[in-house]
Amino acid sequence: MTAVPGRDPGADPRDHHRADPGADPGAGPGADPGAERLLGRWWLATAADTDRLGRRLGAVLRAGDLLLLSGALGAGKTALTRGIGAGMRVRGTVASPTFVLARVHPPAEPGGVVLVHVDAYRLGGAAELDDLDLDTDLAQAAVVVEWGSGLAERLGPVYLHVDLDRRPDDTRLATVSAVGGDWPERVAAVVAAAQLTVADEPAGGTGAGVPEGDVLAGD
């Protein structure tokens, strides 16, 4: 596991990671091709549910994939990434890379995919993101960026965005959206394999047409 040195740990975080995860620009004719398409919302009631979602996501990741994770402190972003690492079968303990900004986890088996785990919480802007040379890693690894919304979209035209909203009862609402690629199909397979059921949707439906059902959940 390789660490990439970061900036002063006492630096204040910026607001670039505070994008609204609830916005759904839609996927119909005339929609902005670079806008996020809502794929669905699922309740995660336990830590096991979050881990299971991460493992199933990790199992379908390929080199070149970009995942952006957002949510408040304690929402479960690192727990989800830990599950992703387990699903990818990478080496090393997946932990928050807050003070080193990025960690590289090689695959445990030949032919596996490298995981690059980034924490953008303390990045001051796009220039510091560019200093990490993540555009090079994207061609050879799956890159997961915590606090990436509003900053890391520039790393590629295709990405998956998972926002975790921690509720007062300690459940989480996972809102999943994507730009481009075959993410709708992959997310549908992930949700089915993880045995998650969709949360009640607000007016506007389920975005990608994931069938509605009872509420489940995970952390």
Domain count, the chain: 1
pLDDT digits (tens, 9 = 90+) for 140-171: 899 999 988 887 888 889 999 999 999 999 99
More confident residue, 29 or 152: 152
Domain contains 64 = yes
- Which of 64, 66, 61 has the alpha carbon at shortest distance from 89? 61
Domain contains 189 = yes
> What pLDDT sits at residue 126?
61
Long-range contacts of 7-13 (CB under 8 A, 24+ apart): 7/101, 7/122, 7/123, 7/124, 7/128, 9/98, 9/99, 9/122, 11/122, 11/124, 13/121, 13/122, 13/147
Residues 6+ apart with CB under 8 A from 89: 58, 107, 108, 109, 112
Domain contains 214 = no
Give the integer Cα–Cα distance in Å for 147 and 17.
5
Give the integer Cα–Cα distance in Å for 187 and 61.
11
Give the integer Cα–Cα distance in Å for 98 and 119.
5
pLDDT digits (tens, 9 = 90+) for 51-76: 999 999 999 999 999 999 999 999 99
Q: What is the CATH number of the domain that holds 115?
A: 3.40.50.300
Range(s) of the domain holding residue 172: 35-194
Q: Which two tokens stand for residue 40?
A: 């669905």
Domain contains 54 = yes
pTM equals 0.74
Domain contains 90 = yes
The alpha carbon torsion through 45, 47, 50, 52 (nearest 10 deg) reads: -110
Domain contains 116 = yes
Give the integer Cα–Cα distance in Å for 175 and 164.
7
Give the integer Cα–Cα distance in Å for 125 and 81.
23
Collapsing DSSP to helix, strand or coil, 70 comes out as strand
Domain contains 146 = yes
DSSP per-residue letters across 20-51: -TT----SSTT--TTS-EEEEEEEE-SHHHHH
Which strands make up the sheet holding 66-70, listed edge to edge? 2-4, 102-105, 114-119, 141-146, 66-70, 159-166, 172-179, 37-44
Rounded to the nearest integer, the mean pLDDT of the chain is: 77
The alpha carbon torsion through 163, 71, 159, 78 (nearest 10 deg) reads: -110
> What pLDDT sits at residue 41?
95
| Contact (CB, 8 A) for 122 and 6 | yes
Domain contains 73 = yes
| Contact (CB, 8 A) for 140 and 61 | no
Give the integer Cα–Cα distance in Å for 203 and 148.
27
> What pLDDT sits at residue 88?
96
